[in-house]
Amino acid sequence: MSTQENTPQENTPGTEPVFNRIALIGAGLIGSSLAWASRKKGLARHVAVTSRSAATRQRIAELGFADSLHEDIKGAVTDADLVIVCTPVGACGAAAEAMAPYLKPGAIVTDVGSVKQAVVRDMGPHIPEGVHFIPGHPIAGTEHSGPDAGFAELFEGRWCILTPLPGDDPAATAKLRRFWEGAGSMIEEMDAEHHDKVLAITSHLPHLIAYTIVGTAVGLEESTKNEVIKFSASGFRDFTRIAASDPVMWRDIFLNNREAVLEMLQRFSEDITHLQRAIRWGEADTLEQMFTRTRAIRRGIIEAKQA
């Protein structure tokens, strides 16, 4: 085991931290951003960070966003009031199992995964009695990953969805809400099944499509491929940004939200086949009507200030 202690951080004067000690399991884009936000906004007195890779720990020490750095989960979660699992969703279950014996009674365990039913399924059984398990998902990110990608403002003005389990203590949820609000987020609560369905269409399917079309371009002959890069400003560029997202994270999302993604993909396939047929048969009205009604959604997003 390897543990390093840094000098204590300065909290924002006059504000009381929401938690005494928080533990971040994993320090990629989300974990490192949470560490920066916690330190800069004074949300916790101590930010413990765990990473299994010595090279990553070295880099985190250089970046300086952890009050203590731990090779194993035990060192990070011992005495923590809030534990946030920031790994790809496929690793959540093993993390919960590893931390279970060391969790303090009354502690809150949450996560940041883009899938919630699978996280409840994989983490839930390992969480001991007397520990509050409140799955969460900040709708925030960039196409960059790793501890260097984090920044304190990532969550500002962004939604964070919490999916508290039936019968959980409302006081614990309220405390977790205060933490995310302190990081700048707006909070929404819903059940895990509904979350997974909404995210399947707003996030998972767009990523799958972006990965696919960029892959389709990769498969073209060399001369065309070079020109795809050259002339990417004509629409393709937006897809490449999405398709540059972390591969392991996204592999786990698709494997763990299979039913909802496959349902949305089926609807999408029907719709694109409908347009394909309209193009083949030269049905101008079908195309124009379709392209007109999608403008309303953009207006809705601009009005909702998410653009």
- CA pair distance 231, 211, nearest whole angstrom: 18
Q: Which of 257, 252, 264 is nearest to 201 (CA)?
A: 264
**Is residue 244 involved in binding a copy of itself (CB under 8 A)?**
yes
Neighbours of 303 (CB within 10 A): 9
Q: Which stretch binds a copy of itself (CB under 8 A): 7-15, 29-37, 94-102, 257-265?
A: 257-265
**Is residue 211 involved in binding a copy of itself (CB under 8 A)?**
yes
Touching a copy of itself, residues 272-291 (CB under 8 A): 272, 275-276, 279-280, 282, 284, 287-288, 290-291
**Is residue 184 involved in binding a copy of itself (CB under 8 A)?**
no
Which amino acid is residue 247, in one-letter code? P
Q: Which stretch binds a copy of itself (CB under 8 A): 12-20, 23-31, 170-178, 206-214?
A: 206-214
Q: Among residues 43, 84, 139, 152, which is the contact residue for a copy of itself, using CB under 8 A?
A: 139
**Is residue 35 involved in binding a copy of itself (CB under 8 A)?**
no
Touching a copy of itself, residues 112-131 (CB under 8 A): 114
CB half-sphere exposure, 198, CA atoms < 13 A = 13
Q: Which stretch binds a copy of itself (CB under 8 A): 14-22, 78-86, 177-185, 264-272?
A: 264-272
Q: Among residues 12, 53, 58, 306, which is the contact residue for a copy of itself, using CB under 8 A?
A: 306
- CA pair distance 73, 46, nearest whole angstrom: 16
**Is residue 222 involved in binding a copy of itself (CB under 8 A)?**
no
- 3-state SS class at 19: strand
Cβ closest to a copy of itself, residue 169 vs residue 238: 238
Cβ closest to a copy of itself, residue 128 vs residue 206: 206
DSSP-derived pairing of the beta strands 108-111 and 68-70: unpaired
Q: Among residues 41, 46, 177, 207, which is the contact residue for a copy of itself, using CB under 8 A?
A: 207
Q: Among residues 27, 99, 183, 205, which is the contact residue for a copy of itself, using CB under 8 A?
A: 205
Asked if residue 200 lies in contact with residue 257, where contact means CB atoms within 8 angstroms, the answer is yes
Measured between alpha carbons, how far is residue 173 from residues 20, 80, 136 in Å?
A: 16, 16, 10
Asked if residue 135 lies in contact with residue 196, where contact means CB atoms within 8 angstroms, the answer is no
Touching a copy of itself, residues 66-105 (CB under 8 A): none
- State which H helix or E strand residue 158 sits in: none
- 3-state SS class at 65: coil
Q: Which stretch binds a copy of itself (CB under 8 A): 61-69, 120-128, 147-155, 250-258?
A: 250-258
